[in-house]
């Protein structure tokens, strides 16, 4: 299976793309937002990114807050932290459903 790497700073996801990703996301939607120094500098709190709509609005406005890596398959999406989750996801792609 070929992979496509999206450099989100050069081609940031729009609201529709984020919504489609969230539809597949196995993690809580709030996990898509990095809680780093920029998050704090912007004065954001967990209450500002508590819902799907808030997460989408925040990430469209502040693309650098998108958690990474995000790994998306045709049916699933995960935040790839820790890295072992990526391996588990990709190993499961070719397995038949049990």
Topology given in CATH for the domain delimited by 15-91: Glutaredoxin (3.40.30)
Quick count: other Cβ atoms within 10 Å of Cβ 84?
9
Q: pLDDT per position in the chain (98 positions), as tens?
A: 567 888 888 999 999 999 999 999 999 999 999 999 999 999 999 999 999 999 999 999 999 999 999 999 888 899 988 888 888 888 877 555 54
Separation between Cα atoms, residue 85 and residue 41, nearest integer Å: 30
Domain positions in the chain = 15-91
Instruction: Please answer whether residues 27 and 69 qualify as being in contact, where contact means their C-beta atoms are separated by less than 8 angstroms.
Output: no
Distances (CA, A) of 15 to 8, 39, 61: 13, 19, 10
* Residue linked to tokens 């508590």: 50
Instruction: Please answer whether residues 78 and 26 qualify as being in contact, where contact means their C-beta atoms are separated by less than 8 angstroms.
Output: yes
pLDDT at 18 (0 to 100): 97
């Amino acid at each position: 299976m070929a992979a496509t790497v999206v450099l989100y700073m050069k081609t940031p996801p729009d609201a529709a793309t984020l919504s489609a990703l969230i539809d597949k996301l196995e993690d809580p939607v709030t996990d898509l937002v990095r809680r780093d120094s920029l998050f704090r500098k912007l004065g954001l709190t967990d209450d500002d990114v508590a819902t799907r709509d808030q997460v989408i609005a925040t990430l469209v406005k502040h693309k650098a807050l998108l958690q990474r890596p995000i790994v998306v398959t045709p049916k699933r999406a995960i935040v790839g932290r820790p890295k072992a989750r990526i391996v588990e996801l990709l190993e499961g792609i070719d397995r038949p459903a049990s």
